[in-house]
């Protein structure tokens, strides 16, 4: 029977380990979260991040400009946070409204306050193997694998997806752990064949239950980063999620077919409860590390 890799358990360990580091600081770490507009999913994510801050002693500041804000006005807000000595980390919640220049906003965040670990300078540090904030979701995946003593050194890892915030940094972090890494994407030929080569398969495609047993090598470790909401009961029944659907009227699924991944893998992350909790834990980790650096320089 496949082992379920519990992200909540790993998250709790990470947050617990941060508390004594916070207690040693001369002031609480400060995290500013910028939430533009009123996207319901983004509001939930931000609420969970602020809750995590409160639980471990990070001071959070929430800035909620109107959806009609201009790129220039948003840049001005970010620059003000860059100058605030009590703010150690800045997170601009994505997605942003379509009229906003996302790249310009993300690059306006000081690399020294980049709590999300996605500033180009910090990505460059990742490529070079230098210390810097790391992209939260892939950093959480690495912590999960280490927690469960899943060997990466010398193993074949396949990353499905090439996004700037998950796929690309995930591949780089696996390389640093001495895995042999393949990145697959929408133009990859023979995708199932490539996926089956993986000892460690990491799916970050955003296609609900797209990856069936033909994509999974028997005995592989499977990390499912995808999260999609199913609102059709027939689809939920097909995926073995009817009980959860009937309780809530919808159900979350990942990129992997939940029945197939449980049958074919040696270990896998569930959705929900797998990678999701670790993203917030690593945001907290980045914020504490930035505070330690900022206070050391003060």
Q: How confident is the model over 142-171, as pLDDT tens digits?
A: 999 999 999 999 999 999 999 999 999 999
What is the rounded average pLDDT of the residues 100-110?
Answer: 97
Give the pLDDT score at 296. Answer: 86
Distance in angstroms (rounded) separating the CA atoms of residues 33 and 163: 22
Q: Based on the residue annotation, tell me whether 49 is a catalytic residue of this protein.
A: yes
Contact partners, residue 216, CB within 8 Å, separation at least 6: 195, 196, 201, 222, 256, 260, 261, 264, 265
Nearest-Å Rg of the Cα atoms of the chain is 19
Strands across the sheet containing 89-92: 59-63, 30-34, 89-92
What is the per-residue pLDDT across 112-141, written as a single tens digit (0 to 9) for each? Answer: 999 999 999 999 999 999 999 999 999 999
Distance in angstroms (rounded) separating the CA atoms of residues 154 and 259: 29
> Which of 88, 113, 114, 116 is an active site residue?
116
What is the per-residue pLDDT across 77-91, written as a single tens digit (0 to 9) for each? Answer: 999 999 999 999 999
Q: Based on the residue annotation, tell me whether 3 is a catalytic residue of this protein.
A: no
Q: When comparing pLDDT for 11 and 243, which is higher?
A: 11
> Which of 88, 93, 114, 199 is an active site residue?
93
Residue 67 has pLDDT above 70, yes or no: yes
Whose CA is closest to 211, among 262, 167, 143, 166?
Answer: 262
CB atoms within 10 A of CB 25: 16
Tell me what the pLDDT averaged over the chain comes to.
95
3-state secondary structure of 56: helix
Give the pLDDT score at 265. Answer: 96
> Which of 49, 113, 168, 241 is an active site residue?
49
Q: Based on the residue annotation, tell me whether 19 is a catalytic residue of this protein.
A: no
Give the pLDDT score at 230. Answer: 87
Residue 180 has pLDDT above 80, yes or no: yes
CB atoms within 10 A of CB 215: 27
Residue 64 has pLDDT above 70, yes or no: yes
Whose CA is closest to 224, among 253, 207, 203, 195?
Answer: 203
Give the pLDDT score at 244. Answer: 87
Return phi, psi of residue 22, to 5°: -65, -40
* Fold for the domain defined by 27-110: Rossmann fold (3.40.50)
Distance in angstroms (rounded) separating the CA atoms of residues 213 and 286: 36
Residue spans of the domains in the chain: they are 27-110, 136-276
Indicate the pLDDT class of residue 245, thresholds 50, 70 and 90. confident
- The answer to whether 134 and 146 have CB atoms below 8 angstroms apart is no
CA 39 vs CA 96, 98, 212: distances in Å: 9, 13, 31
Residue 298 has pLDDT above 80, yes or no: no
Give the pLDDT score at 38. Answer: 87
CATH for 136-276, among 3.40.50.2300, 3.40.30.10, 3.40.50.720, 1.10.10.60?
A: 3.40.50.720
Residue 40 has pLDDT above 90, yes or no: no
What is the per-residue pLDDT across 19-35, written as a single tens digit (0 to 9) for each? Answer: 999 999 999 999 999 99
Question: Do 27-110 and 136-276 have matching folds?
Answer: yes
Return phi, psi of residue 271, to 5°: -130, 120
């Amino acid at each position: 029977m496949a082992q379920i890799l519990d992200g909540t358990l790993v998250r709790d360990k990470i947050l617990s380990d941060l508390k004594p580091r916070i207690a040693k600081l001369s002031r609480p770490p400060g995290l500013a979260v910028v939430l533009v507009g009123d996207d319901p999913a983004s509001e939930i994510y931000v609420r969970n991040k602020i809750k995590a801050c409160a639980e471990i002693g990070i001071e959070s500041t929430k800035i909620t400009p109107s959806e009609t804000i201009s790129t220039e006005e948003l840049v001005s807000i970010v620059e003000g946070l860059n100058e605030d000595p009590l703010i150690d980390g800045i997170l601009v919640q994505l997605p942003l409204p379509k009229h906003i220049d996302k790249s310009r906003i993300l690059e306006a965040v000081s690399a020294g306050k980049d709590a999300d670990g996605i500033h180009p300078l910090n990505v460059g540090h990742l490529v070079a193997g230098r210390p810097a904030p790391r992209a939260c979701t892939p950093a959480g995946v690495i912590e999960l694998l280490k927690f469960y003593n899943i060997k990466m050194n010398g193993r074949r890892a396949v990353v499905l997806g090439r996004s700037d915030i998950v796929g690309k940094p995930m591949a780089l972090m696996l390389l640093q752990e001495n895995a042999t890494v393949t990145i697959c994407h929408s133009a990859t030929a023979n995708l199932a064949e490539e996926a089956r080569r993986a000892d460690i398969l990491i799916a970050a495609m955003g296609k609900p239950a797209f990856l069936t047993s033909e994509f999974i090598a028997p005995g592989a470790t499977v990390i499912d980063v995808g999260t999609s909401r199913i609102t059709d009961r027939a689809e939920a029944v097909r995926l073995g999620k009817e009980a959860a659907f009937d309780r809530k009227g919808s159900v979350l699924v990942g990129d992997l077919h939940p029945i197939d991944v449980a049958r074919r893998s040696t270990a896998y992350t569930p959705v929900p409860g797998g990678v999701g909790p670790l993203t917030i834990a690593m945001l907290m980790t980045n914020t504490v590390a930035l505070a330690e650096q900022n206070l050391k320089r003060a």
